[in-house]
């Protein structure tokens, strides 16, 4: 379904990835784990087509998409929910959802049906379709961001830190939906700070450390692996400080639930 091989990527002269490998099968839920600055968000941006790797390959359903723009990957069924949600704050919730369906060219009743399906998981959003997205709470904005992604009718969803900044009760609501999507057969790739939660749902997981894949196995094997603990606790950092260039460096939340 989705494969990345030997990905190398940088921001100017600063390396971010130094050999990332990822294999995701159809219908799998794969977690990407690692400490801040390890290269998780850069990996996701490369998969989504928002950052082009320096070398390596990415294939989606057997087609090479390494240099394909993000919209081409979206048309092939892969959608990205970025860290921080990135809604259009001065547009209504409805208009944000319509943006998510632009590749489908829906109109009239078909569009209304797609909106109803996308927000059907969140009753609190249904009554706020005409409210400005920027006026919603952080949890409600995350609901809209995921709903916007669902508007494209994807087969693969990439989510970068979907729980970031959310209250625990909202994290549970978000992961209830991810569980439902997994059970319905959607392929999911999730970067997450709450290690115990995501490993409880994932089929498989990979650990990134210093821009490299250091472990990829079933979620249960990864949960009990010393490489997982080492990836979070190691203070030996080879990569330069990427605070000003790596988008994931702004995430200061600490991983929880590592074993």
pTM over the 0.85 mark: yes
Phi, psi of 212 (to 5 degrees): -130, 150
Contacts for 69 with CB less than 8 Å, ≥ 6 apart: 49
To which CATH superfamily is domain 1-77+155-259 assigned? Answer: P-loop containing nucleotide triphosphate hydrolases (3.40.50.300)
Classify strands 204-209 and 29-33 as parallel, antiparallel or unpaired: parallel
Instruction: Output the pLDDT for position 234.
Output: 62
Q: CA-CA distance, 71 to 77, in Å (whole number)?
A: 10
- pLDDT tens for residues 37-52? 999 999 999 999 999 9
Phi, psi of 231 (to 5 degrees): -65, -30
Instruction: Output the pLDDT for position 155.
Output: 96
Domain ranges of the chain: 1-77+155-259, 86-153
Contacts for 51 with CB less than 8 Å, ≥ 6 apart: 9, 42, 45
- pLDDT tens for residues 86-135? 999 999 999 999 999 988 888 899 999 999 999 998 888 988 999 999 99
Instruction: Output the pLDDT for position 245.
Output: 40
Q: Which residues of the chain have pLDDT under 50?
A: 237-259
């Amino acid at each position: 379904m989705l494969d990345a091989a030997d990905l190398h990527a940088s921001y100017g002269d600063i390396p971010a990835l130094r050999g990332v490998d990822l294999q995701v099968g159809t219908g799998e839920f794969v977690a990407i784990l690692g400490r801040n600055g390890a290269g998780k968000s850069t990996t996701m941006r490369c998969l989504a087509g928002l950052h082009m790797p320096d070398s390596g390959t990415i294939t989606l359903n057997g087609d090479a998409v390494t240099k394909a723009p993000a919209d081409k990957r979206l048309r092939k069924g892969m959608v990205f929910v970025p860290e921080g949600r990135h809604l259009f704050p001065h547009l209504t919730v409805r208009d944000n959802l319509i943006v998510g369906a632009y590749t489908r060219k829906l109109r009239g009743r078909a569009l209304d049906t797609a909106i109803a399906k996308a927000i059907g998981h969140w009753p609190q959003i249904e009554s706020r379709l005409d409210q400005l997205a920027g006026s919603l709470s952080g949890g409600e904005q995350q609901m809209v961001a995921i709903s916007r992604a669902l508007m494209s009718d994807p087969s693969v969803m990439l989510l970068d830190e979907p729980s970031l900044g959310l209250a625990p009760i909202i994290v549970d609501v978000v992961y209830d939906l991810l569980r439902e999507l997994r059970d319905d057969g959607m392929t999911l790739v999730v970067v997450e700070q709450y290690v115990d939660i995501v490993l409880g749902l994932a089929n498989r997981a990979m650990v990134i450390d210093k821009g490299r894949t250091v472990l990829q196995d079933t979620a249960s094997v990864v949960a009990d692996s010393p490489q997982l603990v080492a990836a979070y606790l190691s203070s030996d950092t080879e990569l330069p400080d990427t605070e000003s260039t790596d988008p994931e460096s702004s995430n200061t939340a600490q991983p929880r639930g590592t074993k």
